[in-house]
Amino acid sequence: MSSIDFHAHHSPQGAWFTFTCGALGAGGGPGLETGEVPKHRIYIGWAEAGEGSNCHVMPFLQEHAGADPKAAYTPEQKKADARLRVNRLDPAGLKRDYGFATDRWTHGPLSFALHTPVVPVPEPGKAPLAAERAALLPAIAGELVLDNRHGSTALTLFFALGVEAPSAAVPLELGPDAVGFSWRNRWGVAARRLPGIRMTSSFSLPDSLAKVAVFHRLCNHPCIAVPVPAGATVTLPLAIGAFVGGTATVGIDLRYRYADFYAGIEDVLASCLARHAELSARAARQDAWLAATALSADRRLLLAHATRSYWYSNQALMEGQVPVWVVNEGEYAMTNTFDLTVDHAFYESMLNPWVLRSALDMFADRYSYVDQVVDPVTKAAYPGGISFCHDMGVNNVWSERGHSSYEVSGIPGCFSYMTAEQLDNWILCATTYVVRSGDSAWLREREPIVRACLRSLQNRDHHDPAKRTGLTQFDSSRVVAGAEITTYDSLDHSLAQARNNLYMGVKNWAGWLGLELLLGKLGDAAATAEARAGAVLAARTIAAAADPATGIIPAIFEPASPGAKSAIIPAIEGLAYPRWWGLDAVLDPKGPYGNLITALDRHLQAIMKPGVCLFPDGGWKLSSTSGNSWMSKIMISQHVADRQFGMQPSAAVQTAGDAAHVKWQVVGSRLFAASDQCIDGEGKASKYYPRLVTAWLWLDGALPPL
């Protein structure tokens, strides 16, 4: 690794809960239902024997973090700064093993690990309840080890937090086998009850470790400590978990699925400790599995980092007896943002196809609408059709039917409508779900939506069949002012404009193919032929736009647009979908769409050069005219470049790119536990983001031991 100094999520799935740590001097800790990085003080280490002795902690702790909290109660007394007795261990001696499911730090005799093995999410109502209960445990297993075999005096091993919130620590009754505390009843930490173990809380870590310390509820330094005799090694299993009972959302009343299986935070933590050996062993197997794959070390790190970030963002919820899967959009906390759902679909269709169906059903039933389309030149309106919202709400607050939290009429640029792209996204997700799950009954149930999507895609091209190009030519009437945008809302015209856009054009082509596949399964030969005709038109239009001399296809097919002079890598992004569906024939340069495939191959070879679509460090520049490059989208294009165009990881352009992209995450985004939008190699937006899970494409369908 280019650095070990970076934050990472450590999360159970379905709980929107994280224990974030890893960036040195930056704190971290538990975060529940938030898009913000926690800034609690993390104390992991050991104390020497004797009252008033020094404490030695992992260098996660912020230097000089926190004021003396007692000053608020006794302002006239002189305060002894207990922080002077808390020594951060030298970062130079810290080692980090960042595996697929285990994140372990070691400093001399001290070791701290967090285990987050990946498991599929069983579908509620169809899977055994015991399997659901096990998969949706809202806690992670941790482990502290202190080796005092060569010591001559006893030491004290501890795990403590200085919580950046009003005091609300609660000692928990966990029975004879465990001790622990919670913050209110929402998140908590527990440890195996070992000989001599104590749980205390005071105004500072040294006070919490004092012999006379008790659990002072007024204070915000809860601490679990255990003695380590001279000549001994002590291993302390930990559980870090969360619990939200009752109604968890607004607008639609939903509850966490795990609340059907666990009685509260005490039950969650005790269950995690009871399964500790199982969870840590599964994590070790998955670590070994990833290490044995053909992926490079850089790609293994990026895959592990991306998976952890996706896991933090998701929620397994229930509306009555109906399961509702949610992925929150990182720092923005938008609910099931559709242009992320389509990218998560690769991972989800491998492990949990039903969660993709859950999102498709919610979009179809609650978050769809019918509009008109507007000619950008004449401003005349024509029939449009069905499309879908950008998202379903924000911060656990669900939007009203047919509206997102993001899209607003009359605003050009960011926050405008993404109507055409979300239409494509429903088609692509539906095709992915049907192909990977084989669920023909669902397809028959959703046949009216599939047919409506065909008409809508045609209308957004042109109401006159003779003037169709296979691409989106009109804007939605919901826009009112400006133009429709794409998921690349914060980039320049090369990618932000939906109309006559190369990126959208290839995505349209994939959408036509998806409709052809779905309508073919439904047995409608005429509609299938219409969809195929759209794909032929799109391929012809895109291939014809290539510059004969350079092979570069302009980003926007409107000569007056600034984007017409831009070169973009996401021209190839849409090829990922037919490849995922197994449509090898349509990707064959000698096949029915050979004109498109050959043109895109030539385009890619022409732009993958420094100063065009490569940054000076070798990182991939999605647009030649923008420094804003998105890791999740780069990963999709890397997969297509590898598998479609033979740009294997051993190629210099891929190897240098991977090294740069790792640095973007662990150096440029060190405080954000995965950042998608990196500007000139530094994380600037889309922090705490789940979308990087597109890295699972690199596995070509291979799964870890589950």
Residue 482 has pLDDT above 90, yes or no: no
Any domain includes 10: no
CA distances from 618 to 10, 613, 664, 667, 683 (A): 30, 9, 11, 15, 16
Any domain includes 252: yes
- For residue range 321-342, what is the model confidence (pLDDT) as tens digits? 999 999 999 999 999 999 999 9
- For residue range 398-433, what is the model confidence (pLDDT) as tens digits? 999 999 999 999 998 899 999 999 999 999 999 999
Residue 91 sits in the same domain as residue 192 = yes
Residue 81 has pLDDT above 60, yes or no: no
Residue 494 sits in the same domain as residue 431 = yes
Last residue of a domain, one of 238, 257, 288: 288
Any domain includes 9: no
Q: What is the pLDDT of residue 68?
A: 66
- Average pLDDT taken over every residue of the chain: 94
Only one residue has tokens 């538990």, namely: 30
Residue 385 sits in the same domain as residue 436 = yes
Any domain includes 11: no
Q: What is the pTM of this model?
A: 0.95
Residue 187 sits in the same domain as residue 115 = yes
Residue 273 sits in the same domain as residue 315 = no
Spatial separation of the C-alpha atoms in residues 388 and 336, rounded to whole Å: 12
Spatial separation of the C-alpha atoms in residues 163 and 183, rounded to whole Å: 9
Amino acid at 147: D
* pLDDT bracket for residue 3 (50, 70, 90): very high
Any domain includes 383: yes
Spatial separation of the C-alpha atoms in residues 471 and 504, rounded to whole Å: 7
Any domain includes 49: yes
Q: What is the pLDDT of residue 491?
A: 87
Residue 678 sits in the same domain as residue 538 = yes
Q: What is the DSSP string of 550-611?
A: T-PPPSBS-TTSGGGG--BGGGGGGGHHHHHTT-GGGG-TTSTTHHHHHHHHHHHHHH-SBT
Segments forming the whole domain that contains residue 502: 293-699
| Residue positions counted in the chain | 706
- For residue range 207-248, what is the model confidence (pLDDT) as tens digits? 899 888 899 988 889 999 999 999 999 999 999 999 999 999
Residue 669 sits in the same domain as residue 601 = yes
Last residue of a domain, one of 288, 323, 356: 288
Any domain includes 155: yes
Q: What is the CATH number of the domain that holds 299?
A: 1.50.10.10
Residue 255 sits in the same domain as residue 360 = no
Instruction: Say how many domains are in the chain.
Output: 2
Angle among Cα 125, 130, 133 to the nearest 5 degrees reads: 85
Last residue of a domain, one of 258, 288, 318: 288
Residue 517 sits in the same domain as residue 579 = yes
Residue 308 sits in the same domain as residue 277 = no
C-alpha dihedral sign at 68, 70, 75, 78: negative
- For residue range 442-476, what is the model confidence (pLDDT) as tens digits? 999 999 999 999 999 999 999 999 999 999 999 99
Residue 253 sits in the same domain as residue 367 = no
Amino acid at 221: H
Any domain includes 501: yes
Residue 297 sits in the same domain as residue 237 = no
Beta strands in 437-514 (DSSP E): 475-476
